[in-house]
Amino acid sequence: MALALGALGVVFGDIGTSPLYTLNETLGVLPGAARAEAILGSLSLIAWALSFAVCFKYLGFVTLADNRGEGGVFALLALSQTRDDERSRGRAWLTFVVLVGAALLYGDGVITPAISVLGATEGLVTLRPSLEPFVPAIAAGILLALFSIQHRGSGAIGRAFGPVMLLWFATLALFGIVQIVRMPEVLRALNPILGVRLLLDHPAHATSILGTVTLAITGTEALYADMGHFGRRAIALAWYTVAFPGLALSYFGQGAFALAHPENALNPFFAQAPAGWWRGYLIALSTAAAIIASQALISGTFSLTRQAIQLGYFPRLNVRHTNADEIGQIYLPLVNVSLAVLSVSVVLIFGSVARLATAYGIAVTATMLITTLAFYRVARARWHWSRARALALCLAFLTFDAAFLLANIHKFPDGGWLPFALGVLVLALMYAWKSGRQEVQRRVYQNSVTQEELLEIARSPHLLRVEGAAVFMMGTAGGAPLALLHHLRANQCMHQTVILLTLATELVPAVGESERFHLEDLGEGIWRVIGRFGYMESPDATKLLASAAAAGVPIDPAAATYFFNREIIQDAEHSRLRGWEKGLYSFLSRNARPAKDYFNIPPSQIIELGLTVYL
């Protein structure tokens, strides 16, 4: 029950605030004739879209694909890979598709805080119409305040998320029940035929209607992405007992109000509350729920970025841990500033939910479709489902996803290009960094001195061995690092204790302590230490050295010297990389956080050696 309460605050923040604007936007595109039947048809589409997307697809099947309890697009990528993938093209195309999905989530992370807070503050207009010109500025101020406190961490405010969202869903249900009792005819919308008939009878409005219905299912990806924090069982419990009933009653209650008051042009979500204290309460609670939904997306973007860094698809950034007891609570200053600037700019540029809704939907539905493709691969490669079984299920998912994606394509010229452009930018960053790192490894590290040659050098009577311990970082657990060779060439000496340290990222969210540390005595005072970390963990070289000292390696972690290569990128005449890749990688390499900082190494124990790399 405690986990389910927590899930209400984190997992269902985005989808839980959709009633603020979904039905209002849908009413704006409904055909004028047969208004009552159009309202019932749109309600039917919303109810059954929620049921299919959340109950059937995600809770029924997708959340079964967990990587040691964790979900998300990177979990699907890890689960889909098999030993045979090393020699096939299947891994390459799926990796690219998953990276596209991850990149599109950044667009969602920008728009969701903007549309949620803007939707809540627009409720002020129902109290005082004179405030309408100031709504964008008020929403921007709320967002700036939210982003400005991110450095404090989400721990303290997170404890209040669950109870506030419980109150939110209870309020949705209460207002919905009151309106349904007054207009029980609205329950006819439970019939799915009404929704299908609406689309068939008005084909010219079909894409517009489905495009607004999409707003009701935004946030379904969060059920899977945040599964590791609460578990599938707690998320399902929170959905079926609180979130789903609250959302359904809210949508039907708004529909009932729209049927009973066709002359009322206000947003039915706020208009259903009596003017005065009740409406003020609803606006205040809506604002709190919107802030919670925004916080969940911001924290999720932080987590997604760290996973990309760990898996080698993103340059190293400053990652601060805001809670010593919870590894998942992190803060990335550069990502936070970027989200703040973009979200506030979106609010000020678009100015209203009606205009911003035109930019919302493409990224969400495209990510859902990508999840289906990756799920098919997992079902075939990991679960060994037959092709017929996997295709039958995933074709049903694809039909649903593709219908909503195609229904949102018309939004592209009116603002839908925004999340797509952000996704392309992030994808270009990930691609340039990954391809650049691979080219550096190929050009520089593949011809390094072997382990046997290093031991021969260490045995040389002409080599001076000095007291102390030296740690050389290595990207792979083999051969000798270039920093060590540069040190030998320049100083003609070697420390009595030499540690070749490799920090490897595994395709699992977290690594057990028994699997984290590996020690190998190579002889001649040279040791190889391999530390393994999951893609949701931050590597710590200092703790690994402490483990090595406890295992018998003659080293004082506080007195050891770390040697790093500082790569200096130069343009080569012949290169596998395109011009834009080299330029972008060079820029990212110069501005990435130094490895010494990312791996938690004291600055006073570091020596950097220049390494020119021609790309």
Where is pLDDT greater, at 407 or 450? 407
Q: What DSSP letter does each residue of 122-162 carry, written as one string?
A: TTHHHH-GGGGGGHHHHHHHHHHHHHHTGGG-SHHHHHHHH
**What are the residues facing 607 on neighbouring strands?**
563
Q: Give the single-character DSSP code of 427.
A: H
CATH 1.20.1740 segments of the chain: 2-415
Mean pLDDT is lowest, of 183-187, 236-240, 295-299, 370-374, for: 295-299
**What are the residues facing 465 on neighbouring strands?**
494
pLDDT in the model for residue 87: 46
Residue corresponding to tokens 């040691």: 68
Mean pLDDT of the 207-235 span? 88
Closest CA to 431 of 110, 100, 104: 100
**What are the residues facing 469 on neighbouring strands?**
497
* pLDDT tens per residue across span 68-97: 787 888 888 888 876 554 445 556 788 888
What distance in Å separates the CA atoms of residue 191 and residue 490, rounded to the nearest whole number?
80
Average pLDDT across the chain, whole number: 87
* pLDDT tens per residue across span 89-122: 556 788 888 889 889 888 888 888 999 999 999 9
> CA angle, corner 50, sides to 46 and 55, nearest 5?
155
Helix (H) or strand (E) holding 287: helix 277-310
pLDDT in the model for residue 373: 93
Q: Give the single-character DSSP code of 70.
A: B
Mean pLDDT of the 155-171 span? 81
* pLDDT tens per residue across span 318-353: 887 765 555 556 788 999 999 999 999 999 999 988
What distance in Å separates the CA atoms of residue 232 and residue 59, rounded to the nearest whole number?
8
Please name the residues in contact with 176: beta carbons below 8 A apart, sequence gap of 6 or more: 246, 248, 249, 250, 251, 252, 253, 254
What is the percent of the chain with per-residue pLDDT over 70, rounded to a whole number? 94
Where is pLDDT greater, at 176 or 152? 176
SS3 percent helix, strand, coil of the chain, rounded to 5, is 65, 10, 20
Label residue 196 exposed, middle or buried (CB < 10 Å: 0-12, 13-18, 19+): middle
Whether residue 526 has pLDDT greater than 70: yes
368: three-class secondary structure by DSSP: helix
pLDDT in the model for residue 327: 52
State the pTM of this model.
0.83
Whether residue 490 has pLDDT greater than 90: no
pLDDT in the model for residue 246: 97
Tokens, residue 201: 């009878």
* pLDDT tens per residue across span 575-598: 788 888 888 888 888 888 877 677
CA atoms within 13 A on the CB side of 23: 33
pLDDT in the model for residue 445: 63
What distance in Å separates the CA atoms of residue 3 and residue 536, rounded to the nearest whole number?
20
* pLDDT tens per residue across span 266-322: 889 999 998 888 999 999 999 999 988 888 788 888 888 888 888 888 888 888 776
* pLDDT tens per residue across span 379-402: 998 899 999 999 999 999 999 999
Please name the residues in contact with 160: beta carbons below 8 A apart, sequence gap of 6 or more: 9
Where is pLDDT greater, at 19 or 483? 19
Pick the most confident of 4-13, 25-34, 346-355, 442-451: 346-355
Whether residue 156 has pLDDT greater than 80: no
Q: Amino acid letter at 218?
A: T
C-alpha distances (whole Å) from 219 to each of 53, 109, 216, 368 are 10, 11, 9, 10
What distance in Å separates the CA atoms of residue 249 and residue 260, rounded to the nearest whole number?
16
What CATH topology corresponds to 2-415? Amino acid/polyamine transporter I (1.20.1740)
CB 347 within 8 A of CB 140: yes
